[in-house]
Chain A
């Protein structure tokens, strides 16, 4: 079965075609990050205005690149939430109208379910059940994933998301928006051990995270050196920050694996692209028999492939094909993954 996926929850327009037998057939992505950079962050109204210009041209591009006609598509999967309301509504309107006009079913996908399942796009892919560490600009969660739609929250951040802490600290270091990746690049020049930042909640007896105190400590450190902050000093601070965040993420993930006695860890979301995090996890899990899975770099951040995949897996799980869409739709700007 062939599923067209549409992602428009924030500042990326993603379109993809996924087939339950032949897997990912094609995908296209447009990132608005350059547009929002001048504003220092995502402007919701501008994001929506851009999505409505991009969705159909990207759909046309994916159909052409895969040489598949719209008539061959069996269902449409779109991101119903969570995310920016106006941005979600844009993808929802186009996706639902397409499904209505072709009389095919529509699948309402949870954005984070897409992220959780994104390592299934790779080879080798994990099997259910697994522990998922979801780290993005908006979320930091540990999940016990038993199967499609069976997600149990093990722990999450009590304040800032890890990606958000990366971005805010990067800004204080004078880096462009979104600075997570740039901070990581700067940290590669850093001298280990020159600074040490706190690792909040490292030894709390739960699987929750906190990053706002760490961000404040980094801000104090940056201010202290402001006058004479050489590139080297900035790199050293970046490294100390990255070290602290990744230490906490690694420790809590390992604890989650111990508690659940599971043998597979899946890392998803934008911060999953961070190489220090990847190296540390590989290093700590070497020899334990636990395997860690990362999505391909291009599927770490928002994309249409993970939405098409989630739709296809949901469709496959149903006993019979659902009826064609009646065209009525709503979005869910706030939506708890456990409510699925």
Chain B
């Protein structure tokens, strides 16, 4: 199977081509320029690989959590490519992509969620893939959920930002901390290949971001007078 994977959930813009198990990937520090860079980068990669868009059979994107605007750029581009070519899409969790990247057997993945909060998930590696001990959630570093046992690897910008609090919470569990890693299309492609094989591909219009932070404004009735 041939897959395009893309991620714009951070200030990086990353792309990967999964070509029947071979991976080509690329990234650029984009700042706020993801929309300018992504599709031209994709064109260059396709041309260099000698692959036409018509040979692509699925689109994968980093569905979140991450920058809201970034998630929608990736999702919107994935929707547009897939709708135009009539091929399926899968959204891949950016926290699961972090777990895949550090490649330990037990992973605590945490990303900065701003406002003093974290996007957090805990995964254990199984034969079938990553089992979510805690599916992605939003929490304060002090209230991150417990995990059982030793040998856990902590990773992601959440650990960079709140290392002391998290090291204390997980003092019984942590084996190592890898703070500076960020989600990349390379691992999104690897995870997507499994998901497509499991029949998890969806129609373009069903591909949506997974924000985790769902309360973004107060209704008039909820505001204090």
Contacts and interface: CB of A to CB of B under 8 A. Distances in A.
Contact of B76 (A45, A52, A85, A326): A52
A234 to B, nearest CB: 20
Interface string A174-193: 00000000000000000000
B217 interface: yes
Contacts of B77: 93-94, 96-97
Nearest to B36: A328
B68 A328 contact: no
Contacts of A43: 216-217
Contacts of A48: 68-69, 72
B5 interface: no
A329 to B, nearest CB: 5
Interface string A85-101: 11001111111111011
Contacts of A46: 216-217
A328 B75 contact: no
Interface stretch (A54-62, A129-137, A152-160): A54-62
A197 B69 CA distance: 44
B38 A327 contact: yes
A40 interface: yes
B172 to A, nearest CB: 38
A325 B204 CA distance: 20
A101 B216 contact: no
Nearest to A43: B217
B35 A329 contact: yes
Contacts of B81: 97, 100-101
B79 interface: yes
Interface residue tally on B, bucketed by range: 20 to 34
Contacts of A53: 208
A275 interface: no
B72 A95 contact: no
Interface in B199-214: 204-205, 208-209, 211
A49 B85 CA distance: 24
A186 B205 CA distance: 41
Contacts of B80: 93-98, 100-101
Contact of A98 (B38, B69, B72, B83): B83
Given A56-B204, A97-B77, A328 B39 contact: yes
B118 to A, nearest CB: 19
Given A45-B68, A93-B76, A328-B37, A101 B53 contact: yes
Contacts of B36: 328-330
A95 B79 CA distance: 10
Nearest to B38: A327
Nearest to A57: B205
Contacts of B209: 49, 52
A102 interface: yes
A52 B75 contact: yes
Contacts of A93: 35, 72-73, 75-77, 79-80
Contact of B39 (A40, A85, A327): A327
Contacts of A96: 35, 39, 77, 80
Interface string A293-333: 00000000000000000000000000000000111111100
B55 interface: no
B219 A39 contact: yes
A72 B36 CA distance: 27
A94 B39 contact: no
Contact of A331 (B35, B39, B78): B35
Interface in A62-109: 70, 85-86, 89-98, 100-102
Contact of B208 (A52, A70, A97): A52
19 contacts: A38-B219, A39-B217, A40-B220, A43-B216, A48-B72, A49-B68, A52-B79, A56-B204, A89-B73, A89-B76, A93-B35, A93-B75, A93-B76, A94-B79, A97-B84, A100-B80, A102-B84, A327-B42, A327-B43
Question: Lowest 7 A-B CB distances belong to which pairs?
Answer: A327-B39, A97-B80, A93-B76, A101-B84, A56-B205, A43-B217, A97-B77
Given A39-B217, A52-B75, A98-B84, 20 more contacts: A38-B221, A39-B219, A48-B68, A52-B76, A52-B208, A53-B208, A57-B205, A59-B83, A93-B35, A93-B73, A93-B76, A93-B77, A94-B77, A94-B80, A96-B35, A96-B39, A96-B80, A97-B77, A100-B39, A100-B80
